[in-house]
Structure 1
């Protein structure tokens, strides 16, 4: 009977090519088929602004913009993003100039601990991109997938409401 090393007993899995535009930069990567977009961002690309909250799509802390639309990165397989444009919280600002939504969140103190803030901001930019949210009630409803443990909801709504006109200007969307 021959002895096998632990390495020899381990199966190998094919990595899949993935090309996407990430925060304005073309990227070519290889990922395992079960890698979530969230794990790709945080563990392989060191983009830690996108948070892992529930890992079940219930809290919105991992919200990013895929082709300008809001998605929960914890529920999205990275291979599904091939050929897409992806914007994370790190990609919203232009150089040293914050995105209008980021500026409004600061002005309205729309965060407490800050853990949910990247997902809240990306979700808010996404709802602007969708052309929705014209009233405070619509903002509240359309942001209901993003939870804030600290309860800063009224400040978040106020920030979004103020930022809407500036965000609707050309060049201020979440896609590049």
Structure 2
């Protein structure tokens, strides 16, 4: 298997938009941001091809790198791993209560990438993994004792300053 080391996100997006498929390797997660949702895959899963043609942004959490597959067996196994991630996310989506869905989503992502990696992501991105509002993801983090989203903290501080000025 030949390793692929893109120099920046733009190279990966170009590979994906050209229809190439790669296999994610290492420890961690790949978040594939589409127009209306975020797809998540772990190590040994296929990325790219028609599944990720419309990918607009990519987050690599942990020590993920990419490789080309050398055999049809490798491609099949990577595709099956991608399907397993899709099924896991589909199960999360079946949770009716948004707060519980967000907590289950955070738990799954933390198990795969670690609490530090997830803490560095904004609620705006994370909420698109499981179909909840950013405020719901903020409440889920708080309820699980996780640090606040960096982006949301900055927004809240700015809102508090504006509120104080108006009083």
TM class by smaller structure: 0.3 to 0.5
Structure with more relative contact order (C-alpha pairs < 8 Å, separation 6 or more): 1
Rg (Cα) greater in structure = 1
In proportion to residue count, which structure has more helix? Answer: 2
